[in-house]
């Protein structure tokens, strides 16, 4: 199926789903180094149902931005608001780069954890948990503990837990980085389908420009530290998308070159600053 080109239109009759205004984060740092400015003047609005991807050089503050949105990191100045429309659903959930699952819980228990926190009936909780175990292909390991799983399998459990939790907004920090290429494609497609089905809003951080362009409605490039939103491109591909077909389309290569042209300079600058430090 060839990609269909055209811009998705996101109409939010209320305020934006996510509103980030002039956010700045400064860490005190050590005496010999002084304060470290992680983020500077980040302003971004995202409407319901958008999937926004952020790429940037290592250390530019991508993860810090997600942690701010998750409420795990204080801001030095500015403001952040994530709108919650359905009181029966959580406002947000974060998928960590290192899976972040509980080592003392089995696969089943990890995936069901958020559902139990929500007070979901036992039978419904079990049905949702089993469905996601099937989707991620870990039926044989349902009662295994994280120490008995590979890194990629643990990452799949973390993803399934976030999907099962059914938050309105997903904050995803390189969630597919530890996966093999085949599983990565499958879960990318699963993410797109889930977003369509449940109108999820997603901020997705990745080092892969290819992944960003495959998934994102918009892609932002962050500058080297202090992180600023340096560049935006709108991906002119409608949904539903086929993650394999999109990669083979000639327009995709042009978008890839466009993003890399901006990102390459920031990667070089980040490396030079590391060497100088």
Using one digit for the tens of pLDDT, what is the confidence trace for 125-153?
Answer: 999 999 999 988 899 999 999 999 988 88
Rounded-to-integer distance, Cα 208 and Cα 56, Å: 9
At 249 the pLDDT is 81
User: Would you place residue 31 in the very low, low, confident or very high pLDDT band (cuts 50, 70, 90)?
Assistant: low
How many structural domains compose the chain? 2
SS3 265: helix
Task: Look at residue 203 and tell me if it is in a domain.
Answer: yes
Alpha helices in the chain (DSSP H): 62-70, 107-117, 122-135, 151-165, 181-198, 209-215, 243-247, 250-276
Rounded-to-integer distance, Cα 209 and Cα 264, Å: 11
Task: Look at residue 40 and tell me if it is in a domain.
Answer: yes
Task: Please identify, among 111, 133, 166, the residue that sits at the C-terminal boundary of a domain.
Answer: 166
pLDDT at 105 over 60: yes
**Pair 159, 254 in one domain:** no
**Pair 192, 259 in one domain:** yes
pLDDT at 194 over 70: yes
**Pair 176, 193 in one domain:** yes
Q: What is the chain's mean pLDDT, rounded?
A: 88
Q: Residue 150's domain spans which residues?
A: 102-166
At 252 the pLDDT is 86
pLDDT at 50 over 90: yes
What letter would DSSP give residue 47?
A: -
Task: Please identify, among 166, 188, 203, the residue that sits at the C-terminal boundary of a domain.
Answer: 166
Task: Please identify, among 166, 185, 211, the residue that sits at the C-terminal boundary of a domain.
Answer: 166
């Amino acid at each position: 199926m060839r990609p269909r080109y055209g811009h998705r239109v996101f109409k939010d009759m209320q305020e934006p789903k996510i509103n980030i205004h002039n956010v700045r984060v400064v860490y005190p740092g050590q005496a010999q180094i002084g304060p470290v400015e992680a983020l500077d003047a980040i302003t971004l609005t995202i409407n319901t149902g958008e999937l926004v991807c952020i790429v940037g050089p290592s250390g530019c503050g991508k993860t810090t931005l997600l942690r701010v949105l998750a409420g795990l990191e204080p801001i030095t100045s500015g403001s952040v608001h994530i709108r919650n429309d359905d009181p029966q659903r959580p406002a947000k959930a974060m998928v960590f780069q290192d899976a972040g699952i509980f080592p003392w819980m089995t696969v089943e228990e990890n995936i069901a954890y958020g559902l139990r926190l929500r007070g979901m009936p036992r039978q419904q909780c079990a049905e949702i948990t089993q469905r996601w175990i099937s989707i991620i292909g870990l039926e044989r390991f349902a009662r295994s503990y994280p120490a008995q799983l590979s890194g990629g399998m643990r990452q799949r459990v973390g993803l399934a837990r976030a999907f099962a939790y059914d938050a309105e907004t997903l904050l995803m920090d390189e969630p597919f980085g530890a996966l093999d290429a085949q599983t990565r494609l499958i879960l990318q497609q699963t993410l797109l389908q889930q977003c369509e089905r449940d109108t999820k809003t997603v901020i997705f951080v990745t080092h892969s420009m290819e992944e960003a362009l495959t998934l994102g409605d918009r892609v932002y490039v962050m500058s080297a530290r202090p992180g600023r939103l340096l560049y935006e491109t709108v991906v002119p591909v409608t949904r539903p998308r086929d993650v394999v077909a999109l990669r083979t389309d000639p327009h995709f290569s042009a978008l890839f070159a466009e993003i890399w042209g901006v990102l390459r300079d920031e990667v070089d600058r980040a490396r030079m600053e590391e060497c100088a430090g």
